[in-house]
């Protein structure tokens, strides 16, 4: 299989925090790669360096000649003022019957709910979720060698996520995707990259395979650590039984070694941590009072009063375009 993008000893930092440290990897034809890792761990940075949106601090990024690639990230800018100009006009669809007669294009427009938005709707007055869906549709309509997506399921309902998974499985090109949707990762991806500690660990398979492989790595690491501790205990026993010349070694060195071997910190109590957070934060973390917000002629929030206390864990739900992202931005 031909190589599409290659990273050689790539490093990237923001401030004093290294997110990528001498990373080498590649994307080949037909790859479907899921990128996982902790928030802030470097997943989006990896995508931006991989696609050329951000230059590496060190190392080399190379792409195949004439690579057809589309990138949909949280900072992707739409080309065009309306849905039609952003999605259809670049492909020469000047009338509705032209794109409606193309089964693939029609599936994308309906599957992502683009038709329901209205083709002449201005994208400037849309919610963040609606704009992301328009960006996604504009990318999916293209015939690509490589599609790179950052959290594509965030603004889709359950049916939309299912449709997107089926669509991506039917595409011939390569895919690199960041998502927290475990089902989506397991269905769509055949390889997994874990961004952790500046490195990118590579696994075969989707989310479930990654979990099993990571657990096995942890088990092997625990086994090696236990062997090291056992060896250290044997060495200490030998020192204690040794000849006078050996036992004349400073006693405090042996005691320190014993303390290091036996000193395994206890896990911190989750309840105590939550209580500590509440004591530090007080009774209210965020407060909205009588807040109203509109985009164009659409009212997204009307006289909303809402308080978030320390320790609250709140899920926001609602139909696409109802104002969830706008509320978070406020």
Go through the domains of the chain in sequence order and give each one's CATH number: 3-206 (3.40.50.300), 213-262 (no CATH), 286-329 (no CATH)
For residue 295, the cross-strand partners are 298
Question: What token pair was written down for 286?
Answer: 């965020």
Measure CA 115 to chain center.
28
Q: How many CB atoms lie within 10 A of CB 305?
A: 9
pLDDT at 60: 95
| Contacting residues for 277 by C-beta, under 8 A, at least 6 apart | 310, 311
pLDDT at 300: 83
Place of tokens 């669809």: 93
Distance of alpha carbon 155 from alpha carbon 170, whole angstroms: 21
pLDDT at 238: 65
Q: How many CB atoms lie within 10 A of CB 245?
A: 7
Block means of pLDDT (10 residues each) for the chain, length 330 residues?
92 89 94 91 92 94 94 83 88 79 89 89 87 92 94 88 94 93 91 91 82 75 78 71 55 60 52 48 70 83 82 78 79
pLDDT at 280: 47
Question: What token pair was written down for 141?
Answer: 């309509």
| Contacting residues for 106 by C-beta, under 8 A, at least 6 apart | 99, 100
Place of tokens 């849309």: 126
pLDDT at 8: 96
pLDDT at 239: 65
Distance of alpha carbon 21 from alpha carbon 7, whole angstroms: 12
Residue 138, phi-psi category: left (phi > 0), alpha (psi -120 to 50), beta (remainder)? alpha
pLDDT at 279: 47
């Amino acid at each position: 299989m031909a190589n599409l993008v290659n990273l050689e000893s790539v490093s990237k930092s923001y401030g004093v925090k290294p997110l990528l440290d001498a990373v080498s990897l590649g994307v080949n034809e037909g790859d479907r790669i899921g990128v996982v890792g902790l928030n802030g761990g470097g997943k989006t940075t990896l995508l931006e360096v991989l696609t050329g949106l951000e230059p590496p601090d060190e190392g080399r990024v190379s792409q195949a000649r004439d690579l057809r690639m589309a990138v949909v990230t949280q900072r992707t800018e739409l080309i065009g003022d309306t849905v039609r100009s952003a999605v259809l006009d670049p492909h020469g669809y000047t009338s509705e019957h032209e794109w409606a007669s193309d089964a693939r294009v029609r599936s994308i427009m309906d599957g992502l709910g683009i038709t329901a938005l209205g083709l002449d709707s201005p994208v400037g007055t849309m919610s963040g979720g609606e704009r992301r869906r328009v960006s996604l549709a504009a990318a999916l309509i293209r015939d690509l060698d490589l599609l790179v997506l950052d959290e594509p399921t965030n603004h889709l309902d359950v049916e939309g996520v299912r449709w997107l998974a089926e669509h991506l499985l039917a595409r011939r090109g390569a895919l690199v995707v960041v998502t927290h949707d475990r089902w989506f990762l397991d269905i769509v991806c055949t390889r997994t990259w874990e961004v952790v500690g500046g490195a990118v660990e590579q696994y075969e398979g989707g989310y479930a395979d990654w979990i099993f492989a990571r657990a096995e790595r942890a088990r092997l690491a625990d086994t090696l650590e236990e062997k090291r501790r056992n060896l250290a205990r044997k060495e200490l026993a030998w020192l204690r039984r040794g000849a006078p010349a050996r036992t004349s070694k400073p006693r405090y060195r042996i005691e320190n070694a014993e303390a290091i071997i036996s000193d395994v910190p206890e896990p911190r109590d989750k309840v105590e941590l939550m209580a500590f957070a509440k004591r530090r934060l007080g009774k209210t973390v965020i407060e909205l009072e009588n807040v109203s917000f509109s985009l164009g002629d659409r009212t997204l929030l009307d006289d909303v009063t809402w308080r978030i206390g320390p320790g609250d864990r709140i899920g926001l739900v609602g139909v696409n375009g109802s104002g969830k992202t706008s509320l978070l931005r406020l």
